[in-house]
């Protein structure tokens, strides 16, 4: 779509949406949200960017092919489940470390890395679908 208004607002909107998607992803640990919905918000951002500047611009901005991102996410999620093998706990058991960074206790968990994996799978898989659908429209 060739619209000056959209092209002006899109960078601001897209960066806000990606930021919000990461916020939703991290918030999901204890409150509504999580990797799946966060990933969907990120894909919505990518779609808007694609509508404004074309699919090629999105692919360049992503650097990696969406399927590669999905594969990396799946790998991260699987490895998060396997970490517990080193600590004598069953598969997929959540394990925690709470390092103190700048005087703040930050709880990190394999649950979180699993959720980041889910986020990447959704961004990659749904992103691939959305981008190829937009490409079809560009062709028509």
Partner 1 sequence: MASSPIDLSLALVTAAPDAADWLVVLPVALCIATGALLTMLRGRPALQGGLAVFSLAVLVLLNIGLVSHISASGPVTMMMGRWLPPFGIAFTADMAGALFSLSGSVVALAAGVYSLGDINEKGRRHGFYPFLMLLMAGVSGAFLTGDIFNLYVWFEVLLISSFGLMVIGSEDRQIDGAVKYGFLNLVATTLFLIATGFLYGIFGTLNMADIARKAAGFSGTAPLMTLATLYVFAFGMKAAAFPVNFWLPASYHTPRIVVSALFAGLLTKVGIYALLRTGIMLFPAERAGLSGVIATVAVLTIISGALGALAQSDMRRLLGYLVVSGIGAMLAGLSLGTVEAVAGTIVYGVHSMLVMGALYLAIGLAGRAAGTFEIGGAGGLWQRQLPLSALTLVLFFAVSGLPPFSGFWPKLMLVKAALADGAGWLAAALLIGGFLTTIATGRFFLIAYWRPSSSPQRGEGGPKGRMRGNTGSELAEIPPYPPFGHLLPAGEKGQAAALLPVALLTLASILIGLYPEPLIAAAKTAAEGLVTPSAYIGSVFGGEP
Summarize as ranges the residues that interact with partner 1 (CB under 8 A): 65, 67-68, 70-75, 78-79, 81-82, 85, 88-94
Residue with Cβ nearer partner 1 (6 or 135): 135
Residue with Cβ nearer partner 1 (9 or 79): 79
Closest by CA position to 24, among listed 50, 6, 10, 43: 43
CB of 92 to partner 1, least distance (A): 4
CB of 69 to partner 1, least distance (A): 9
* Distance from chain centroid for Cα 78: 16
Dist. CA 122–CA 36, nearest whole Å: 6
CB of 10 to partner 1, least distance (A): 29
Q: Exposed, middle or buried by CB within 10 Å (0-12, 13-18, 19+), for 127? A: buried
Say if residues 131 and 55 touch (Cβ distance below 8 Å): yes
Residue with Cβ nearer partner 1 (13 or 72): 72
CB of 84 to partner 1, least distance (A): 8
Residue with Cβ nearer partner 1 (54 or 94): 94
CB of 46 to partner 1, least distance (A): 19
Residue with Cβ nearer partner 1 (1 or 129): 129
> Which strand (E) or helix (H) includes residue 66?
helix 66-82
Strand partners, 96: 109
């Amino acid at each position: 779509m060739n619209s000056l208004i959209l092209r002006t607002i899109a960078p601001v909107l897209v960066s806000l949406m990606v930021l919000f998607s990461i916020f939703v992803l991290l918030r999901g640990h204890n409150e509504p949200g999580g990797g799946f919905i966060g990933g969907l918000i990120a894909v919505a951002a990518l779609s808007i960017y694609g509508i404004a500047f074309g699919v090629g611009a999105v692919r360049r901005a992503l650097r990696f092919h969406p399927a590669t991102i999905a594969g990396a996410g799946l790998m991260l999620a699987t490895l998060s489940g396997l970490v517990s093998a080193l600590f004598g706990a069953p598969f997929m058991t959540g394990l925690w470390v709470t390092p103190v960074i700048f005087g703040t206790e930050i709880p990190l968990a394999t649950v979180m890395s699993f959720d980041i994996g889910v986020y990447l799978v959704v961004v990659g898989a749904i992103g691939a679908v959305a981008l190829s659908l937009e490409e079809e429209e560009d062709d028509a």
